[in-house]
């Protein structure tokens, strides 16, 4: 899936493997909280969100860094990145 990020470029975003999802599970549970939404005003989860986005984008963009993630992910495109990376929004 192609996702346009804040730098104006389209990035190929592929679903994470089960192994990657397993490794990220504690972070995913933490950022989604009990109501299954991400509170973008909660600064305590920013590092976790960056780690997840980096894992998703690095799969097809080997030169991706956490610094670059901070520049190209914003609240307009994070949902698209997560949807593409998780691959199946309706799986719980």
Confidence of residue 90 (pLDDT cuts 50, 70, 90): very low
The per-residue pLDDT for range 24-60, each reduced to its tens digit, is 999 998 888 767 777 777 888 899 999 999 999 999 9
Burial class (CB in 10 A: 0-12, 13-18, 19+), 69: buried
pLDDT of residue 89: 56
Q: Is residue 72 situated within a structural domain?
A: yes
The count of structural domains within the chain is: 1
14: domain range?
2-86
* Position 28 in a domain: yes
- Please report, for residues 8, 74, the alpha-carbon distance to residue 52 in angstroms, rounded to integers and kept in the order given: 21, 14
Does residue 19 lie within any of the structural domains? yes
Say how far apart CA 82 and CA 30 lie, in whole Å: 15
């Amino acid at each position: 899936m192609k996702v346009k990020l804040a730098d104006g470029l389209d990035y190929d975003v592929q679903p994470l493997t089960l192994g990657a999802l397993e490794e990220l599970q504690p972070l995913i549970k933490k950022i989604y909280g009990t109501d299954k939404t991400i509170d973008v005003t909660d600064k305590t989860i920013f590092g976790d969100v960056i780690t997840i986005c980096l894992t998703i984008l690095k799969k097809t963009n080997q030169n991706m860094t956490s610094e670059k993630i901070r520049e190209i992910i914003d609240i307009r495109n994070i949902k698209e990145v997560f949807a593409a990376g998780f691959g199946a929004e309706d799986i719980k």
